[in-house]
Structure 1
Amino acid sequence: MNFRPLHDRVVIKRLESDAKSKGGIIIPDTAKEKPQEGEVIAVGPGARDESGKVAALDVKVGDRILFGKWSGTEVKIEGQDFLIMKESDIMGVIEA
């Protein structure tokens, strides 16, 4: 991908959710909620504090994360759908 986010922004690719419920009912695309889990694709260098120093981000490329339902801005880069959000919109990293 030829895109580099600025400051404390992060590029996220949503992870697809299951098409079936736990009971085995197939959920159509129109009734599915968008997943709130994703993979970090690219990160910016970090935010600057009052003294001008760059504070590095806590997330890195490849991390699986959770984010809020309405977080980020949906964009299309090279034909793929991504989310761009600030690191503060990320709720946490899912450890393996």
Structure 2
Amino acid sequence: MATITLNVKTVRPLGERVLVKVSQSEEKTAGGILLPETVKEKPQIGEIIAVGPGRRNDDGSYQPLEVTVNNKVLYSKYAGTDIKLENEEYVLLSEKDILAIIE
């Protein structure tokens, strides 16, 4: 059986999908209480690492995505597929699951 080594440069999203590097979750509460791994919430903020070509129109051309590489975005809590590459957390999601660009 062949072994495939995946890294960020080898993953290229298709269609209207984007690859987002997940931001680190909060280590402690606003009151200063340290949180164990088991109660940390999945972050909903990340940085776009790669984007697909966009939606295909009826004439075969592509409609580009509204987001670009290096945008910080807020996305739906349970959206996408979680991926771990090179000990970093990523999520592969559709552009429609992105709620906002953070500036």
**TM-score, shorter chain, exceeding 0.5:** yes
8 Å CA contact 2:26, 2:40 repeated in 1 = no
> Does residue 1:10 correspond to 2:8, yes or no?
no
For 1:30, what is the secondary structure of its paired residue?
A: helix
Q: Measure, in 2, the Cα distance between the counterparts of 1:25 and 1:80.
A: 25
Identity rate, percent = 44
> Does residue 1:74 correspond to 2:85, yes or no?
no
In structure 1, what is the equivalent of residue 27 of structure 2?
A: 19
Structure 2 unaligned residues grouped into runs of 5+: 1-8
**TM-score for the superposition, normalised by structure 1:** 0.91
> Does residue 1:56 correspond to 2:64, yes or no?
yes
Shift of 1:2: 1.7
- Render the CA deviation track for 1:39-64: whole Å, top value 9, x for unaligned: 10100111112222200011111110
Runs of 4+, deviation exceeding 6 Å: none
Q: Measure, in 2, the Cα distance between the counterparts of 1:14 and 1:80.
A: 8
Paired residue type of 1:28: P
Q: How many residues align?
A: 95
Shift of 1:30: 0.4
Shift of 1:79: 4.7
Shift of 1:78: 4.4
